[in-house]
Structure 1
Amino acid sequence: MKDERLMILSMLESGKITNEEAAKLLEALDENEIGESNTYKINLDKNKSKKSNQKNKTIYDEWEEKIEKLANLEKLEKLGEEIGTKVGKFGEDLAEGATVFADKLLNKLDNFISNDSFSNLFGSYDMKTQTITKKIENAAQIILDFSAINGQVTIKTWDEDYIKIDAECQYKKNHIEPSNEFYDIQENNNKITIAPKYTKNISTSLDIMLPNKNFERIYINNKNGKNTLSNVKCANLFCETKNSPIKLNACTCNKANIYNKNSKILINSCTIQELETITTNSSIDFIQSNIGNIDAVTKNGSILCDHIVSDVLSLLTTNSSIRLKDLDAQTIKAKTSNAKIWANNISTNKLKCLNLYSSNATINVLLEDTSKTYSIEAVTTNGNITLDIPSLVYKNNEIKNKNMKVIAISNDTQSPDIEINAVTSNASISISKEVELDVKKL
């Protein structure tokens, strides 16, 4: 995508095409995005594109082979980091293609960890299981701390009054005495810590059932393994892993900190007052949730907000799209680079501020209702600006040195209800209202 845009701009600078033709070509690049990867149909240099696709395929095959030939845990721990570093280096050139590339490889790595192929890392290996139970009397004051390594952590709730943990350990033969337990339980006042006794040449997984009660705090520390939480309730949640996904479903928290590296984060059907999510080289998705404040940061990965009720959304990524759909929020801040921003069916019920920033890609905003009053500032280069909002008075509408800037405010308005700022480059900006269908005419 970057090469194609540079080629268009070079042709414009040399006078081979006009400003209007350049704008149309750049817009065509955006409009020809397809699928989740948002790859482009248009190719100004087909031979170069073909070579690039062959190169990307070769790179993927090379890394896939590395995953299948993992010989030990030390190599496993380094491989996810290497994938993330590789994606980071060429993320800007491949833009969203880098995200798809990384997700594909890391999904394979996660599947490798999650199934029997993992046993290949040990050569001759043994497996042990251990069941841990602990009665809980006052959950609201209890702090739980769970740790795992190179395996999955799954947490669900039930109607019993005790915690049940089914732990599984795969380990190198003769590394652990068969009679020894491999998980340690420690209690200190109101804190219960459950962690593996060994940290090398093992894989540990936890299947946890918690009482369906609201806990004070829950920590999940994992390494190279998936974390999946369902219907968990707590005042504070801390969840961390790397090279494997983190998924929260129907969880309720006052505050949640979700940290990952080189893999995705999914928040679905959750109620959270304050949420911080950080990952790299992969996507962050928020779906059908009520979240007071969202602070989401990734790199070379897309961000999706679909059917979200919130007060403040702060979304930051690079080289990948930000997609906003059916949002009801007071403040929305979204920033990316080299990728498109969609803001579709945005409720104006409580919206006060909408700030959208990108580069080399379009920004499209579709508002649910335009009866409110607006103050709009839109800036781009080598692109068009379209404001389809009734009763706007244009304070500034200038084109200078390929730069376009539009400032508009609703007629007879001293204090507008909603402030919108949209900035990009080498692409167009469109801000309009949702079209209401007349049922009688259908």
Structure 2
Amino acid sequence: MINARLGKKDEINVCKLKISAWDEEEAVCIMSISEERMFILKMLEEGKITSEEAARLLEAIDPDKGTADSGSGFKAQQRKTNFADEVSKVRDKLNEWKKEFKKNYNQKDFERAVDEFSSKVEKLGKNLAYTTIGVADKLVDFISSFVETNSFNVFGKYKATNRVFEVPDVNEDMELNIEAINGHILVKKHMENKVIIRTTVKSPADNADEILDFSREENKVTLKCNKIGNISVSHEIFLPSVKVKNISLVTKNGKVYVEDSISENFEAVTSNSNVDLMGVNGDKINVSNKNGRINFGYIIGKDINIDAVNSVIEIRQIKTTNINASTRNGRIFIENVHNHNDDPNINMNLKTSSADIKVNMNDMEKRGYKIKAQTTHAEINLLIPEMTYRNISKQMSSNFVEADSDGYDDYINKVNIVAETTNGNIEIVK
């Protein structure tokens, strides 16, 4: 369904009526029944309405099915109960798996335990995605909080050993390659013309110098871990306001947090935790994550590539030419995208599954839009004025739209968006 008259917020407000105020003769809902069900169940999950209210609203939007059933309406009542019970059972199952995970995980098998847990949640999400239960968010929040808090405390009993590494006379040809394990990498800016790396090592043995491998060859600086397993290595890095050639930050079971870096190429890789980038400036920015959130804010990057699994991607206030963002079972949200330098085009390729995609350009400029969007078991809303719809297809559970601005070829500045998901809505707003 392409909704040109009302935005999704208006649709939500229509279906958000409490049952006490519901009047079937006066309330008009322009959404399809399947979409209404999704929003009602989402409000139930968020606690905005009770299970009883949700069941009665579900009956109200499709009363014919209730009256068409035999005599007493038993099947209709059973259907209402099943919807409410389904959401409740999903919550119970997730909580049960969380307790089991906390009780039985073993540090040596942590990666395997996380993979097993995430596989269970992923399967649950695929089977019940239409309930908009948000299992990916729950997975991400649980795993990342488990790693970042005292639940992941096997290293707390080990003595912490600190090391400091300095790299003076930073220049534009410098390459910085930093590895951590079971620990975070934090990057901040300072006013000195040198790189300072403060490293903390936790290990059963007092062998920090055996674990760490620091080297500098001409303009290449490397700090790696010689060992893996039951150790923790984390870094706090201070960078000068100098544009360097490459910055590569790799860890697992730890956060990557970066403020104000400048480089030609930037890379951040982690798992089971978050990637938070604020004020990163790079010609090419690559981010990879698994079971964690990816948050971008005030980023300048001509080419941005995000490759994730079971991750939520949120991007706000960026200047770019190309964004390629791919995840699975996590929503993609993009807001306030501007042109990179003098490049007239913005290209977005966005792909996920069992989750929504939303792009809010907040665009006051005169730009031409070309959109290709595809989803299943859900809806596509293009809230962009003066669009010509070249192809609209809705067959069975599949929904496909191709559209572009009137006179698209005549625009100097263009925005091209390809968005694909399953069991999730797509909304693109100018």
TM-score (ref. length: structure 2): 0.73
Alpha-carbon distance change, 249 to 177 in structure 1, aligned in 2, over 3 angstroms: closer
Alpha-carbon distance in 2 for matches of 1:246, 1:129: 24
Q: Could you list the runs of 5+ residues in structure 2 that have no partner in the other structure?
A: 1-28, 59-78, 340-345
> Following superposition of structure 1 onto structure 2, how do residues 158-237 of structure 1 map, counting pairs within 5 Å?
158-172=190-204, 175-177=205-207, 180=209, 182-237=211-266
> Following superposition of structure 1 onto structure 2, how do residues 412-427 of structure 1 map, counting pairs within 5 Å?
none
Bigger strand fraction: 1
Equivalent position amino acid for 2:203 in 1: Y
Counterpart secondary structure, 1:131:
strand
Say whether residues 1:126 and 2:159 are aligned partners: yes
Cross-structure match for 1:362 = 379
Counterpart secondary structure, 1:379:
strand
The C-alpha deviation readout for 1:146-188, integer Å capped at 9, x for no partner, is 000111111111111111122112222xx3347x464221112
Which range is displaced more, 144-153 or 44-53? 44-53
CA contact (8 A) 2:189 2:240 kept: yes
Counterpart secondary structure, 2:189:
strand
Alpha-carbon distance change, 153 to 427 in structure 1, aligned in 2, over 3 angstroms: closer
Alpha-carbon distance change, 225 to 377 in structure 1, aligned in 2, over 3 angstroms: same
Alpha-carbon distance change, 281 to 35 in structure 1, aligned in 2, over 3 angstroms: farther
Alpha-carbon distance in 2 for matches of 1:415, 1:134: 51
CA contact (8 A) 2:41 2:132 kept: no
Q: Identity percentage over the alignment?
A: 25
Cross-structure match for 1:3 = none
Alpha-carbon distance change, 159 to 375 in structure 1, aligned in 2, over 3 angstroms: same
Alpha-carbon distance in 2 for matches of 1:414, 1:154: 44
Alpha-carbon distance change, 67 to 204 in structure 1, aligned in 2, over 3 angstroms: farther
Equivalent position amino acid for 2:206 in 1: I
Equivalent position amino acid for 2:265 in 1: N
Cross-structure match for 2:297 = 268
CA contact (8 A) 1:148 1:221 kept: yes
Say whether residues 1:321 and 2:356 are aligned partners: yes
The C-alpha deviation readout for 1:380-410, integer Å capped at 9, x for no partner, is 2479xxxxxxxxxxxxxxxxxxx99999999
Cross-structure match for 2:62 = none
State the aligned residue count.
368
Alpha-carbon distance in 2 for matches of 1:359, 1:57: 24
Cross-structure match for 1:148 = 180
Which range is displaced more, 355-364 or 65-74? 65-74
CA contact (8 A) 1:70 1:76 kept: no
CA contact (8 A) 1:151 1:225 kept: yes
CA contact (8 A) 2:262 2:282 kept: yes
The C-alpha deviation readout for 1:210-263, integer Å capped at 9, x for no partner, is 112111001111111111111111000111111111111111000011011122
Alpha-carbon distance in 2 for matches of 1:415, 1:429: 25
Alpha-carbon distance change, 236 to 98 in structure 1, aligned in 2, over 3 angstroms: farther
Say whether residues 1:353 and 2:370 are aligned partners: yes
* Deviation of 1:33 (Å): 6.4
Bigger helix fraction: 2
CA contact (8 A) 1:144 1:217 kept: yes
